[in-house]
Copies of this chain bind each other. A is one copy, B any other.
Amino acid sequence: MSDPLRVGIAGLGTVGASVAQLLRQDAARLAQACGRDITIAAVCARDRGRDRGVDLGHARWYDDPAAMAASGDIDLVVELIGGEDGAARATVEAALGAGHHVVTANKALLAHHGVALARLAEKHAAGLYFEAAVAGGIPVIKALRESLAGNRISRVYGILNGTCNYILTRMEREGSDFSDVLADAQAKGYAEADPTFDIGGFDTAHKLAILTSLAFGTEIDLDSVYVEGITNIGPEDLAAADELGYRIKLLGVALVTETGIEQRVHPTMVAKRTPIAEIDGVTNAVAIDGHFVGEVMLVGPGAGGRATASAVVGDICDAARGIMVPPLRVPASELAPYQRAQMRAHEGGYYIRLSVYDRPGAFAAIAARMAEQGISLESIVQRAAHSPGSSEPKPVILITHETTEAQVREALDIIGADGHIERDPQMIRIEQA
C-alpha cells in the first residue's frame, strides 16, 4: 500500500464537518477502494472548540489556511472557505504553487479565476478537482471531463439552483404568489435571508460558466452569461404553462450556435413528461448533448452538507488513486477564447402573455404585428377577464413556433407602442428537452 494521502481541510462549516465525518467514519472502506489511507492531517477553522461530530484530535490546527495549504504537512487541501477572492483564492494558489492537490466546492472562485488556477495546477503538476462546485452531489464534472470525452458537446443545460426550483415547484402546485412562497422558503431555510444570488439567477450563471468551459473547451466567461431570474414569474404563468403542456424551470443553457456560444440563464418552458420537466423541489439536473452519445441527464441533490461532502470525498479518492486530468478537460493553454453568441440571435419558441384591452380589433392588430415580423403562432389562448363584463384587460397567451429573440422583441415593442396592451408583456423562452 502506498503512503497515506494527507488531507488538510480549510473551512469546517456544514460541508467541512461532513467531509471530516465521512473520511473518519469510513476510513477503512475508503482505504480499501483507494489502495492507501486517507488521513486528516491538518484543519483550519475559526472556532477550535465547536463540536463538529468528529474527533479531529490528531489533526494539526492552523489559523492561516494558506499557510496550511503550502505546508509540508499535507498533500491535498480541501478549500471550503468560499468567495471568489480573499482567503479562498490565497489558499488554493498557495496549495497549487506548492504542488499540492486542491479539492474545492467554490463556484465563484472557479467562475472568476478558473482558467488561471487550471494553468497554475498544470504548471505544478497538481490536481484541481471541483465536482462539488456545480450541482452538488451530481457527478457532472467527471461526466464532462472523462466519461463523455469522446463527444463533441453541442449543448449543456440544467436546473442548477435548488432554491429556485423549490419555489417554482411550490408555486405550480399551490397556485401561490412568488413572494409568499419565497417568504415561506426563507422561514424553512430553503432560501437565504438575502435571496438575490439564487433567485436572480446568478448562482446558476456561475455554475453554467464552469460547465460551458468544460463542455466546449473555451475559456470561462462569467460576464457573458445572459441572466434573468424568476422574480417575474407569476402563478398565472405556471397555470398557463400547465394548460399548454409545459412546466417552467429556471434553466442554465449553454449552446453552440453558428455565431458563437450562447450562455443564458432564464425561466424556461419545458414540455411535460420530459425528464427535466419532472425534476421537482430542491433537486438539480444537468443534461448533456453529445454528438455520439445523444443526450445524457444526471439528476440528484444540488446542495446540502452531506451531498456536497460526497462530491468532495469522491474527488479526494480520485487524487488518492492518482486520477488526474486537466482541470478544464483540455490543457488550459489550449482553451479557445470564448466567443459570445448574441441573445438577439437566439432561436427558439416563445411563450408570450399579454394583457390586452378589450376593444374591437385589438387582437387582430396584435396577430397582424406578429405576422409582420415573420412570427408564426403554434397556440393562442384567450381567457375571460377576471370579472366578466368588466373593462379590465384580458390575458392573451401566445406560443410561437421557432423564431428569433430579435423578432420577438421587435414585435412586442411595436405591439406595446400600438397601445393595445397594458403593462410590459411577459415572455418566457421554450427549450426543447
Chain A residues in contact with chain B, CB under 8 A?
Answer: 18, 22, 26, 29-30, 32-35, 131, 137-139, 142-143, 146-152, 217, 273-275, 277-280, 285, 290, 292-301, 304, 306-307, 309-314, 316-318, 321-323, 325-326, 329-331, 334
Contact = CB atoms under 8 A, between A and B. Distances in A.
Given A149-B33, A152-B29, A310-B290, A299 B322 contact: no
28 contacts: A30-B149, A30-B150, A32-B334, A33-B329, A33-B330, A137-B293, A137-B294, A137-B296, A139-B139, A139-B147, A139-B296, A146-B317, A146-B321, A146-B323, A278-B278, A292-B306, A292-B307, A292-B309, A292-B313, A293-B310, A294-B301, A296-B301, A297-B298, A298-B299, A299-B299, A322-B322, A323-B323, A323-B325
Taken together, the copies of this chain in the complex come to 2
The 9 closest A-B pairs by CB, nearest first: A150-B313, A139-B147, A293-B310, A296-B300, A137-B293, A292-B310, A149-B317, A297-B299, A292-B306
A275 B278 contact: yes
Given A292-B307, A293-B306, A306-B294, A314 B279 contact: no
Given A26-B152, A149-B314, A150-B30, A275 B292 contact: no
Residue among A139, A304, A334 facing the most chain B CB atoms (10 A cut-off): A139
A23 to B, nearest CB: 8
Nearest to A278: B278
Contacts of A147: 131, 139, 142, 311, 314
A310 B279 contact: no
Contacts of A217: 32
Nearest to A34: B149
Chain A contact surface mostly: mixed
B293 A296 contact: no
Contacts of A307: 292-294
A40 to B, nearest CB: 14
A319 to B, nearest CB: 11
B18 A292 contact: yes
Contacts of A35: 326, 331
Nearest to A131: B147
A305 to B, nearest CB: 9
A140 B167 CA distance: 30
Contacts of A29: 152
Contacts of A318: 146
A278 B143 CA distance: 22
A400 to B, nearest CB: 26
Contacts of A309: 150, 292
A150 B274 contact: no
Contacts of A139: 139, 142-143, 147-148, 296
A22 B148 CA distance: 12
Given A138-B296, A292-B18, A300-B294, A149 B274 contact: no
Nearest to A273: B278
A146 B310 CA distance: 11
